[in-house]
A and B are shown apart, each in its own frame.
Chain A
């Protein structure tokens, strides 16, 4: 994973250097709230990619504390309504997410195995440039979805091993409202 990100980062830098006029590397970094029927949770996202005219495409990751702590990995597409000005934009994210539950839901008396599930979202945002027009303040609101599957094996009451395990399968499809703000470099 680190290698992929490194190659992508270097590639993006290269493309950016090759075509300063057409392609620009940007890093969008958000913090925000995720609201759903399981309550509120904090989220952090960083998306790094290329801006070409009014289009932006990047690779995103972060941390998502909603229900089960996860790490998303996704492709993000933005379409600005205006070029190089303060503008509204729409966004679309799609990818996967991995569990990061150690210390949160892993129990002493059961073992969990998670399967990565779909992660995605869409929304609308506003981009307000600072004076130099290099950095911008970002605000966004939209819908976010993540899915996780868990296989949980629980050791049963048993005085003489081998003790049979209870096996439970959990499937969570989580629908959230995402409100976020951040900075673009």
Chain B
């Protein structure tokens, strides 16, 4: 009896512990992240400094534009590097144009077109070492009004961000760690540009496939998240917005080919006719699963890379080849699985695809139903590429590299401008 009593007491004690002890045990969970504080300058001061300055190291390379002997390389949200590429084996970083908020560039004649947060600039680069700002067209890119959740005003420009690590207690959060609930966490966005065919007076350069600017003759076409902006540049350096056409949601890239514009969005590829260049008209659309999709095209086919990711959502990582002989009803020819494709470029039958962390893949595309992998360059995270004149200009996480592909079986590195963070 006494023994049973003891057991009962022990069981009672244990029950009390089981019920009450957990309330005494508190988990300690912390989250450390970086917050950003903007550094402002007056707009007047920033505009006065949009000119050629001393070259700076490449830190976060964005989009590329090839024009004559120069490569223009966007430094994300900072400006444009001017690289003298007269000797591709020894490219020289000769100047840097400070353009806060810059993501996209295009060049025609002696004018560099660049976005400047919500505005579009024309910059005289007749002497690239002495570039000068010419004109400003306001509010072309209204979606850039917000940067890292900060509402940009019209008098001040964000020229830099101060980073500071912060640790917070998240013990009370429900579930696992919770999600992105930090205002102004390290967060930035980017963009780019493209080019086109022959102009009456001067020839535009060559853009990468991630471009959001395209120049065809006397017009600059720029896509923002939802619309296609048509800007007349025949009276350079003057800029004149002639049409803003709503295209759809999540517009990403633009690629000009002959009298067509190929616009990549997260849900499909739009084809616009520019026989009337001042008023592009939609021809057809090729819809696909939700993914990011840079696009390039030739006479018969469009090459669309689909990739997954945070912005892109979706789960597709592939190359879609689309028959565009009937522009009003483009149709899928074949899909090829890839790892995480980004930009692409084509020279004749040779197709170059930046496959993210899986490097650069080179295909023989003479038969679109049976692409043959010719070369696979690994060990770099690639983003965008321009193949021109047997020279490949490649932007990767490690920098701007140039390859010689005159012998496709012996593609070799010519030079690299390394990222220096």
Query: Which residues of A does B touch, CB under 8 Å?
Result: 35-38, 67-68, 105, 108-110, 141, 143, 150, 152, 154-177, 179
B25 CB–A CB distance under 8 Å: yes
**Which residues of A sit under 8 angstroms from B189, Cβ to Cβ?**
156-159
B309 and A164 form a contact (CB under 8 A) = no
A157 and B310 form a contact (CB under 8 A) = yes
- B103 closest partner in A (C-beta): A160
Cα–Cα distance between A159 and B292 once the two chains are bound (Å): 8
**Smallest Cβ distance from A110 to chain B, in angstroms?**
8
**Which residues of B sit under 8 angstroms from A160, Cβ to Cβ?**
62-63, 76, 103-104, 190-192, 210, 212, 383-384
**Which residues of A sit under 8 angstroms from B210, Cβ to Cβ?**
160-161
B180 and A161 form a contact (CB under 8 A) = no
**Which residues of A sit under 8 angstroms from B18, Cβ to Cβ?**
35, 141, 177, 179
**Which residues of A sit under 8 angstroms from B252, Cβ to Cβ?**
159
Cα–Cα distance between A154 and B311 once the two chains are bound (Å): 11
A37 and B21 form a contact (CB under 8 A) = no
- A161 closest partner in B (C-beta): B383
B236 CB–A CB distance under 8 Å: no
B190 and A161 form a contact (CB under 8 A) = yes
**Which residues of B sit under 8 angstroms from A175, Cβ to Cβ?**
25-28
B17 and A167 form a contact (CB under 8 A) = no
A170 and B190 form a contact (CB under 8 A) = no
B127 CB–A CB distance under 8 Å: no
27 inter-chain pairs at a CB distance below 8 angstroms, sorted by A residue, are A37-B27, A38-B27, A109-B310, A156-B186, A157-B311, A159-B189, A159-B191, A159-B252, A159-B253, A160-B76, A160-B104, A160-B212, A161-B342, A162-B190, A162-B397, A164-B60, A166-B185, A169-B33, A170-B31, A172-B27, A172-B28, A172-B30, A173-B27, A173-B28, A175-B26, A177-B21, A177-B25
A167 and B29 form a contact (CB under 8 A) = no
B61 CB–A CB distance under 8 Å: yes
**Smallest Cβ distance from B278 to chain A, in angstroms?**
26
Among B25, B104, B383: residue with most chain A CB under 10 A: B25
Query: Which residues of B does A touch, CB under 8 Å?
Result: 14, 17-18, 21-23, 25-34, 60-63, 76, 103-104, 170-171, 176-177, 180, 182, 185-192, 210, 212, 252-253, 292, 308-311, 315, 342, 356, 381, 383-384, 397
Known A159-B192, A161-B342; 15 more pairs at CB < 8 Å: A158-B190, A159-B190, A160-B63, A160-B384, A162-B76, A163-B309, A164-B186, A168-B32, A170-B30, A170-B32, A171-B29, A172-B28, A172-B29, A174-B27, A179-B18
**Which residues of B sit under 8 angstroms from A68, Cβ to Cβ?**
176
Q: Which of B30, B60, B103 contacts A162 (CB 8 A)?
A: B60
**Which residues of B sit under 8 angstroms from A168, Cβ to Cβ?**
31-33, 182, 185
**Smallest Cβ distance from B324 to chain A, in angstroms?**
23
**Which residues of A sit under 8 angstroms from B212, Cβ to Cβ?**
159-160
B28 and A35 form a contact (CB under 8 A) = no
Cα–Cα distance between A102 and B32 once the two chains are bound (Å): 23
**Which residues of A sit under 8 angstroms from B308, Cβ to Cβ?**
108
**Which residues of B sit under 8 angstroms from A154, Cβ to Cβ?**
180, 310
**Smallest Cβ distance from B195 to chain A, in angstroms?**
16
- A176 closest partner in B (C-beta): B25
B103 and A166 form a contact (CB under 8 A) = no
- B315 closest partner in A (C-beta): A108
Q: Lowest 5 A-B CB distances belong to which pairs?
A: A160-B190, A169-B32, A155-B310, A175-B25, A161-B383
A36 and B311 form a contact (CB under 8 A) = no
